[in-house]
Structure 1
Amino acid sequence: MTRLLTLIAAALPLLAATGPAASAASAPARPYVPAGVKAGYVVLDRQTGRITSQRDAHRRFRSASVVKIMIAIDYLESHPSVPRDDLALLGKMLRVSDDDAATSFWTRGGRGRIVERTVRRLRLTDTAPPPADKPGFWGYTSISAADIALTYRYLLDRASPRVRDLVLGHLRNAGQCGSDGFDQFFGIPRAVPRPWAVKQGWSGYGSTPPARCRPTAAPSGPASGSVPDAPEQAATPPAGQGVPAPAAPARSGSASVVAAGPVPDLGHPVLHTTGLVGPGERWIMVLLTAHPSGTTWSRSTAQTTTLAKQVYLSGTS
């Protein structure tokens, strides 16, 4: 397992150099990215340890709620014993993407220090905390498809069973309706047959759902139509910095923390769909997208779901 992780970690930094020709050789058809849309994606076959589909895997996007996976990992690895109230908050944050729960853990964990610890522990290369003038905005964390693929790989192969089972257990049971009434079944949940475990992210579409979420039967395969969702921008955090959780011990060869820079694609809505897909959760699939300013929610979700289907087929066929 250690050798497999090493191979995967070595493969991901090379993605940018493989180029379209290498991807075309291993995929039945290259997914079509609509004009004006920026996309970074990775499909990783856990059985072979090979990257089976990729595009701009190291391009940075603002994280929106995808960073909640890192927040959960950092909290659990810093707290051997978790109070019952925090267990409930973790469930809300991961299953129904509750922003208040994320802000609570973010503030108590030291805000950007959470990201810095995660970068070192998981050996990420593209992830960076929010800018210094936006410390409370966890959704402004910079991520890449390659780093999120490594985050899932960490959960599967390196995290303790306690951390792995709690985080992935919630992602396997992600609710269709977010805690604020938005529907978060777009991308993977609408494009890929079950089983899957997902964490979604979105930002820049306003704060009011176009329609109240009403749960439907769990999709068993691709579905047509768009699905509304909620903006994943952190609310202004409570006053105070909170008590930072202890940092993980330094590891030889661990990654250096990337300095925070400008927020990626600020002013452009982003929509992300990430998770484990296929029988036995064989594939890790990460699709991050940024859309032209002013793009409606229905158009963004429709485009992202269509692209997710193509990415899935290109990486698993």
Structure 2
Amino acid sequence: MRRRLLATTLALLLLGGAMGSAAADAPAGRPASVDAASVQVPAGVTAGVAVFDRQTGTFTEQLNAAATFRSASVVKLLLALDYLWNRGPDYTVPAADRAWLEPMLRSSNDTAANTYWSNNGGSAIITRMVSRLGLRDTAPPPSGYPGYWGYTALSARDTVTIYRYLLDSAPGAVRDVVMGNLRQSTRCASDGFDQHFGIAGAFEKPWAVKQGWAGSSYEKGTCGSARTASATGTASPAAAADVDLTRPALHSTGTVGAGDRSIVAVFTLHPVGTSYGKAYTDIGRLTRSLNVPGATRPAGWWYGTWSDHVNVRPNPSTADAALTQLPAGVEVLVGCQARGQLVQVPPYSNDWWAYLPQYGGWISNIYITSPDNKMPDVKDC
């Protein structure tokens, strides 16, 4: 018999594969109708959401769209645009600048952002971009935190404005530099976190994403060695009256669909102490509930996992080196399952493995939240 998880873990992850649907009444892991979609915010989560359909010129989703959140790394969009401002239509980024601009946008490199922030005026960057783009809710970090670029206040609707400028008004060279790098977002960020949550997990490519995360409970990287929270982390509740700097933040922004049809901005705050895997799962469920025109939803079954940093392997065997590690307790999309090497976590054992198409690898079913060794609704590979 397969081991059963602790009741608290099962309650946290709910019904495994049944939670994989984009809408509550849709088959697990299958595309769901978006005709009557409404934002589904997990319990305990505070969210600001906006989805803009560029084809019709209308919003398909708005929830607390004007509410401000600490931006975390989403502000790197403004750092890049400020650097590229007033460049000619044939501008080419010099190699020396490309060496930091590309990792800042693709893998959310903080060192590059720190350098840009200090060299180009700090908070003045935000003030300039607010004026240039006509942003309504964006503001520099609060007084007393001038070097904390991640404390910049940003809303979902202002984020839509930023992407609309990039796609519809920016010089072609600027658009190509920024969007081209966002299309090449790396799964593993520079600080070791798995950054393909939200948009990147909810929809098939084509997409382009700029993510953000900040919180003292996100204490370890999940794609590499242990890391600590950066300057975008936590502060005293009294530091800013308008922007919450204490609760862990996880944001997913970008475009989805052919021709960047939809602009999606999802900002979330989670209860203090929330693990990265739990926040990752919650923003995924929220994002999958959205009406996003032009989006293609991945086929498969969503299941919860347990244990810390489960290895994803290229084959259903522990003999192969890990491709990456999962955020602890995260929900994953399972494409199919097959028998492989027997894995033992006494007193339990299991020789079934789950293929995770979004990771291009396998994990043992022993780490899947399911009552049996073989998941009942998942097809064989």
Question: TM > 0.5 between the two?
Answer: yes
Name the structure where strand makes up a greater proportion of residues: 2
Per-residue deviation, 1:54: 1.0
Root-mean-square deviation (Å): 2.6
TM-score by length of 2: 0.62
Aligned to 1:106: 117
Flag the 1:196–1:230 CA change in 2: closer, same or farther, 3 A: farther
Q: How many Å apart are 1:232 and its aligned residue?
A: 5.7
Greater Rg over alpha carbons, structure: 2
Q: CA deviation at 1:148?
A: 0.3
Structure 1 residues 90 and 150, CA, compared in 2 at 3 Å: closer, same or farther? Answer: same
Q: Distance in 2 between matches of 1:77 and 1:313?
A: 30
Cα distance in 2 between the residues matched to 1:96 and 1:290: 22
The residue that corresponds to 1:58 in the other structure is: 66
Q: Which runs of structure 2 are paired with 1:90-105 in the superposition (5 Å)?
A: 90-105=101-116
1:283 counterpart = 2:266: no
Question: 1:196-207 maps to which residues of 2 (within 5 A)?
Answer: 196-206=207-217
Task: Name the structure 2 match of 1:29.
Answer: 37
Determine the structure 1 residue equivalent to 2:10: none
Partner of 1:170: 181
Q: CA deviation at 1:180?
A: 2.2
The match for 1:84 is 95
**Unaligned ranges ≥5, structure 2:** 1-33, 234-238, 297-381
- 2:231 is aligned with 1:233: yes
Structure 1 CA distance for aligned equivalents of residues 177 and 245 of structure 2: 32
2:249 to 270, 285, 293: 270
Q: Does 1:306 align with 2:304?
A: no
Partners of 2:217 and 2:276 within 8 A in 1? no
* Larger relative contact order (CA 8 Å, sep ≥ 6): 1
Indicate conservation of the 8 Å contact 1:58/1:126, yes or no: yes
Aligned partners of 1:296, 1:234: CA distance in 2, in Å? 17
**Aligned-partner Cα distance in 2 for 1:148–1:91:** 20
Is the CA contact (8 Å cut-off) linking 1:202 and 1:230 kept in structure 2? no
User: Which stretch of the first structure deviates more once superposed, 273-282 or 109-118?
Assistant: 273-282
- Answer with 267-276 or 277-286: which moved more: 277-286
**Identity in percent:** 46
Is the 8 Å Cα contact of residues 39 and 63 (structure 2) preserved in structure 1?
no
The structure richer in helix per residue is: 1
The alignment covers a number of residue pairs equal to 255
Matched ranges for 1:181-196 at <5 A: 181-196=192-207
Deviation of 1:181 (Å): 2.1
1:66-124 C-alpha deviation (Å, 9 max, x unpaired): 00000000011156674421111000100000000001011111000000000000000
- The alpha-carbon deviation at position 35 of structure 1 amounts to 2.2
- The answer on 1:69 being equivalent to 2:77 is yes
Distance 1:68 1:263, change over 3 A: farther
Measured after TM superposition, the shift of residue 234 of structure 1 is 4.2
Cα-to-partner distance string for 1:114-152 (whole Å, 9 max, x where unaligned): 000000000000000001210000000000000000000
The residue that corresponds to 1:120 in the other structure is 131
In 2 relative to 1, CA 27–117 (structure 1 residues): closer, same or farther, beyond 3 Å? farther
Unpaired runs of 5+ residues, structure 1, are 1-25, 215-227, 236-259
**Letter matched to residue 180 of structure 1:** D
Query: Given residue 96 of structure 1, which amino acid in structure 2 is its aligned partner?
Result: S
